[in-house]
Amino acid sequence: MAEAEILVEVWRGPLAESVHRGHAVVSDARGQVVAAWGDPDKVILPRSSVKMLQALPLIESGAADAAGLRPEHLALACASHQGAAMHTTRVLRWLAALDLSEHDLRCGAHPPQDDDTRHALICAGHAPGQAHNNCSGKHAGFLTLTRHLRAGPEYVEPEHPVQRAVRATFEEMTGAPSPGFGFDGCSAPNFACTLSGLARAMARMAAAREDAGDGRARAAARLVAAMRAHPELVAGEGRACTELMRAMGGHVAVKTGAEAVFTAILPKQGLGIALKIEDGGTRASECAIAAILARFGALDPAHPAAARRLNPTLRNWRGHETGAIRPAVALAG
């Protein structure tokens, strides 16, 4: 078992004050590892970085088409959005079209990350609802599939038909049985896998085409296309996923997950990327994914959105430059 590698360094003046260790894999659709850092067989909980895989049964089952879902709905099914009006309005309309409401969601409520929405709720004296949960689009997708399968309302239970379908799809895409699961922040099961399996699944998404004869390939291609077409719905203004996808001209889909997980789907290169920073630091995962994307020619490192993640300047309370965050030589070389 390989040890975690130093992927990101935090410099103060002439010294590397802190380092972030982690694991990363770049794979092709056959499961061949193109590049790796740390341990490719490291087992992780991928958290929200796999919402695209969790949404595959929504399309494969016919539920998405039966409900008349459009690309914006599919993007939200893959999203970790920030609860802005453009997110919550769409989710609530989606539910209403199913004769459901946010009370049917099982994701729980938390304050929106969008500043304007959060401040408006505070000023109005209103509590956030479940539609503000960053996973409400994924859960609207789960509910759509639940309705299509005529299954019970507790769709986050591991033995519910929805989660059985998600697990089967997840294992087929990663190429191995999941060794177990934990419950995510939104109460849905999150199935574990290796980094190499996760990268393989992303590469299979990258290789998928909408005109393919295989139903899963068509479903995967539709989800990737939706994410690329609606980066603002996948995350939100100022967020890394949205800004990096825009910086790459909509040619690549990227998705973050809690505890410093990142995945990327590169259709042009036919590659998938999976990344995990061991200490859970978001500043490191954003820096590392930007470095790998630049290394494989998908991201211009000079683009402002890339530079903000690759080499952000650290300043003190007086605004003086004190250091920087940057990818380790092994990652950027």
312 in Cβ contact with 6 (< 8 Å) = no
Supply the pLDDT for residue 239.
Answer: 97
- For residues 206 and 220, give the distance between their C-alpha atoms in angstroms, rounded to a whole number: 8
- Among 7, 79, 117, which residue's Cα sits nearest to residue 245? 79
Q: Helix 136-149 to helix 85-97 angle, to the nearest 10 degrees?
A: 10
pTM here? 0.96
Supply the pLDDT for residue 333.
Answer: 65
137 in Cβ contact with 77 (< 8 Å) = yes
**Which CATH number do you get for residue 79?**
3.40.710
Domain count, the chain: 1
Interior angle at CA 297, CA 293 and CA 303, nearest 5: 70
Q: Which contiguous run of DSSP H or E holds residue 144? A: helix 136-149
Q: Give the tokens for residue 57.
A: 């049964």
Supply the pLDDT for residue 233.
Answer: 98
pLDDT tens for the chain, 333 residues: list them: 789 999 999 999 999 999 999 999 999 999 999 999 999 999 999 999 999 999 999 999 999 999 999 999 999 999 999 999 999 999 999 999 999 999 999 999 999 999 999 999 999 999 999 999 999 999 999 999 999 999 999 999 999 999 999 999 999 999 999 999 999 999 999 999 999 999 999 999 999 998 877 899 999 999 999 999 999 999 999 999 999 999 999 999 999 999 999 999 999 999 999 999 999 999 999 999 999 999 999 999 999 999 999 999 999 999 999 999 999 998 876
- Pairing of the two strands 253-257 and 181-183: unpaired
Supply the pLDDT for residue 1.
Answer: 72
Q: Which residues are 43's β-sheet partners?
A: 194
Supply the pLDDT for residue 82.
Answer: 97
Tell me the residue range of the domain where 228 lies.
5-332
- For residues 132 and 83, give the distance between their C-alpha atoms in angstroms, rounded to a whole number: 4
